[in-house]
Amino acid sequence: MKKTFIILILVSLLSFNSYKTEAQELKGNDSLVIENPYLGLKPPGSMPIAFAPGVVTTEHWETNGVFTPDMREFYFVTSGGKYEKPTFVVFKYINGQWHESIVSPWRGRVVFSPDGKTMHLGERYMKRTNDGWSDVKKLGAPFEGNSDMFIMRLSSSANGTYYFDTYHKDKPDFPIRYSRLIDGKYEEPKALSKAINTGTQLNHPFIPPDESYLMWDAKREGGYGDSDIYISFKQEDGSWGEAINLGDKINTEAWEASPAVTPDGRYLFFNRNIGSENYENVDIMWVDAQIIETLRSKDKG
């Protein structure tokens, strides 16, 4: 593994300074104030834009951009340019500045537990310790030993329920499943309803802490081209509403995937293939998360 290093983002200092925002208090924790949140970038509006061009998003391959719940660390995976192989990278907010460092080779698609103590990596995870992150651990039963459940991405709610894809390279219609934490143990995973599990390439689910909606990507009839991002809202009776395509501002003829909302609820991050069918140039995009509330209102009629 490459030796960990820290680099001040000097190359982007001029552009970042022009985008400095006023200090913002993070929701849920008034004691935390970040003077230049989101790496110091000017937030997007209703049209998606590349996140941190030239610093995070480049002409190479970058995926899975997520913030920790305290918004002081931003993790993503990149390959190309100065990173010859897929590499797990983090920007940390320290003493008013964002610093870049290598975490490790790519270990999986990151989603943080709502309390920030667990870094989910598909069917594996790491725990936050006083010294950083623990060694990689396996989920164990009932998520291991099943050839039908190679988990690419796992997202957890505040009550500990897991939502995850079950990727299989030879069977593109494997369902998205969930598993509840009952009396300290996880139940046998169950497939979600057809409202969600329709189409192929059902991947990369994201659940917010309150489980009020679920987002994922899939190929479905009536989509815009390649994989699109969809959302389903939890209904009053506990069922999941019909899948809603996020529309032509988010989805294009290209591959869009891996949706995630920032812990403060303000922005939606996702991936878009800008390159060829070889996926040599995949970008991390972000957009105002108001689109979710707009679709929620329509879902309620």
Q: Is residue 235 part of a domain?
A: yes
Q: Is residue 55 part of a domain?
A: yes
Instruction: For the chain, list residues with pLDDT below 50.
Output: 1-31
- pLDDT digits over 76-109, tens only? 999 998 888 999 999 999 999 999 999 998 888 9
* Confidence at residue 27, expressed as pLDDT on a 0 to 100 scale: 38
- pTM for the complete prediction? 0.87
The domain of 204 spans 7-299
Residue 133: CATH number of its domain:
2.120.10
* Confidence at residue 106, expressed as pLDDT on a 0 to 100 scale: 86
Q: Is residue 13 part of a domain?
A: yes
Number of domains in the chain: 1
Instruction: Assess contact for 9 and 100: CB atoms under 8 A.
Output: yes
Question: Edge-to-edge, what's the strand order for the sheet holding 228-233?
Answer: 200-206, 213-219, 228-233, 244-245
* Confidence at residue 14, expressed as pLDDT on a 0 to 100 scale: 30
* Among the listed residues 63, 111, 125, 57, the one whose alpha carbon sits nearest the alpha carbon of residue 88: 63
DSSP string, 23-86: -EEPTT-TT-EESSTGGGPPPP-SS-EESSBTTTB-SSEEEEEEE-TTSSEEEEEEEETTEEEE
Q: Is residue 2 part of a domain?
A: no
